[in-house]
Amino acid sequence: MSPAPRERERADGGYRPPEGRVTTVPDTPDGPRQATEQHDWADSLWIAGHRRPAADGSRRQVHDPADGTVLAEVAEAGPADADEAVAAARRAFDHGPWPATPPAGRAAVLRATAGLLRRDRERIALTESRDTGKTLAEARTDVDDVAAAFGYYAALVEHEAAGRVVDAGSAEVHSVVVHEPAGVCALITPWNYPLLQAAWKIAPALAAGNTFVLKPSELTPLSSVLLLRLLGEAGLPDGAGNLLTGPGDPVGARLAAHPGVDLVSFTGGLASGTKVAAAAAATVKKTALELGGKNPNVVFADACASPEGFATAVDHALNAAFIHSGQVCSAGSRLIVEESVRDRFVAELTARARRIRLGRGTDPGVECGPLISPGQVTRTEKFVAGALEEGAVLRCGGRRPGPGDGPPDGGWFYLPTVLDHCHRDMRIIREEIFGPVLTVETFRTEDEAVALANDTEYGLAGAVFSADTARARRIAGRLRHGTVWINDYHPYLPQAEWGGFGRSGTGRELGPSGLAEYRETKHIYENLRPAPTRWFAG
């Protein structure tokens, strides 16, 4: 996913504030900030159109990663809640109005949802910022991107034809291929972009006429709670959308294996993704998996020949690695730079990385927030320590912030880190970190650059920077990654497919293929003049 799609849809929709008390916190130049008090989240499950607690009354605390305090307390769903949510989605699909709603009617609900998201932008962005630790500016962009995704799928299906007529070679035959919803969809989303990833699944699933059960990460569930309430306000029928706030085990595991679920879409880590795939295989469900990446950013010397080109390449290398503290599946954590400019490039990159301002995402001037949990900080520390033992050279960072490093005082922070002189045999080159760590490798020839960039079991995204258009396009054509940027990093388009090669997963999100993931294809062959075939003599 990315912090900056290039398309914006406009949509209107009425607004009714979600239930619960709301407190106002200090205004920003862009408008008032609002936050919901803790008790508003206690009934966080959304099943058959109703808010409710977990069946056994269990709750889970959600923590603010900027200081470790309790941000909210949500319902902790269990297997019984999962069964109830699937049953509600099943009834809504088999007997409810949503699958039979004409495309224009489904598009109207999606557009209304986009309008509500824009209307409630500030409150949702603040919730997302505090829940994930990302900056408020990035969270606002996420809300805009979510609205754009709903708008895109509304436009895609609104005037869709009823089917594709197939020429059967006979005037006595009418043959048509139609697309039907897959059924009940289990949508399991990660903690780094909870709102965005939910929208990438919910918008096409609803556009295709499916019903769903959403299971966000237990670490960052709050924006998903708000989104489900907005879908209800937008007119989504009861049971068509359901939400379970709870852990991957047992809730996510139950959804993946549930016989009442027809499709599982999962975004997360490779280890969890393989478990989901194995659980789904028992009932031969459709699956779509996005499992992260180890993404190369290839910089040729010619991209740095001019002062502007050099500054641009360095700037994008910083964005690629350190946006959202590196907690991005498409993060450009592997800088692969031509040897002749390596020293100069790394020196400037390091100087700028040292100046990145850490802090609470909602504070003015902050450029990088905390990591999501203490465990993620420890994981990052182990990766860096291992790289240093294997011969990497630390240029900056490599530790938690100390007293002389600026604002962070508590919370789960790690300094932006640059590791030079890395090589392909290092663990840090081969495994996804999900932390603010950039490794540096060098190359001399085009073939060497391509070999390094493709030397990964993953294949989600990558980039090439070059002033030579022919070279850049040639390299892009050779990279085995689902998205390749040329002279840019991170933007995506709702109308363009997103997904990876190899262990980055299966299937695609966004674009027309993202809609196709949530459909079954049916061929209807009609004999207009039936008569005996007399195949058997009788």
Helices (H) and strands (E) in the chain, counts: 15, 22
Over residues 325-339, the mean pLDDT reads: 98
Give the pLDDT confidence score for residue 255 in this predicted structure.
98
In this structure, CATH architecture of domain 296-486: 3-Layer(aba) Sandwich (3.40)
Q: Where are the domains of the chain?
A: 45-291, 296-486
Checking if the pLDDT of 537 tops 90, the result is no
Checking if the pLDDT of 323 tops 70, the result is yes
Checking if the pLDDT of 490 tops 50, the result is yes
Q: How far apart are CA 328 and CA 332, in angstroms?
A: 9
**Is 109:234 a contact under the CB 8 Å cutoff?**
yes
Q: What's the longest Cα–Cα distance across the chain? A: 96
Torsion of CA 309, 310, 314, 316, to 10 degrees: 10
Q: What percent of the chain has pLDDT over 70?
A: 92
User: What superfamily does domain 45-291 belong to in CATH?
Assistant: Aldehyde Dehydrogenase; Chain A, domain 1 (3.40.605.10)
Which position among 122, 138, 290, 338 bears the catalytic label?
290
Q: How far apart are CA 278 and CA 414, in angstroms?
A: 35
Looking up tokens 């300094």 gives: 415
Q: How far apart are CA 71 and CA 130, in angstroms?
A: 8
Identify whether 290 is a catalytic site residue: yes
Q: Which of 20-29, 262-271, 461-470 has the lowest mean pLDDT?
A: 20-29
Rg, C-alpha atoms of the chain? 24
CA-to-CA dists, residue 419 to 424, 430, 433, 438, 530, angstroms: 13, 14, 13, 6, 73
pTM, two decimals, is: 0.92
- Give 407's pLDDT tier (boundaries 50, 70, 90): confident
Over residues 259-267, the mean pLDDT reads: 98
Q: Is 70 helix (H, G, I), strand (E, B) or coil?
A: strand
* Phi, then psi, of 75 in degrees rounded to 5: -65, 140
- Taking only the tens place, the pLDDT of each residue in 102-129 is 999 999 999 999 999 999 999 999 999 9
Q: How far apart are CA 436 and CA 325, in angstroms?
A: 5
- Taking only the tens place, the pLDDT of each residue in 124-168 is 999 999 999 999 999 999 999 999 999 999 999 999 988 999 999
- Taking only the tens place, the pLDDT of each residue in 47-68 is 999 999 999 999 999 999 999 9
Give the pLDDT confidence score for residue 1 in this predicted structure.
53
Q: How far apart are CA 427 and CA 156, in angstroms?
A: 43
Strands, sheet with 437-443, edge to edge from the N-terminal-most edge strand: 393-396, 417-420, 437-443, 334-338, 296-299, 461-465, 483-486
- Give 408's pLDDT tier (boundaries 50, 70, 90): confident
- Taking only the tens place, the pLDDT of each residue in 364-391 is 999 999 999 999 999 999 999 999 999 9
Over residues 278-302, the mean pLDDT reads: 96
- Give 19's pLDDT tier (boundaries 50, 70, 90): very low
Checking if the pLDDT of 21 tops 60, the result is no
- Taking only the tens place, the pLDDT of each residue in 203-243 is 999 999 999 999 999 999 999 999 999 999 999 999 999 99
Give the pLDDT confidence score for residue 513 in this predicted structure.
97
- Averaged pLDDT score across all residues of the chain: 92
Q: Which of 42-46, 151-155, 241-245, 392-396 has the lowest mean pLDDT?
A: 42-46
- Give 405's pLDDT tier (boundaries 50, 70, 90): confident
Give the pLDDT confidence score for residue 56 in this predicted structure.
96
**Is 423:402 a contact under the CB 8 Å cutoff?**
no
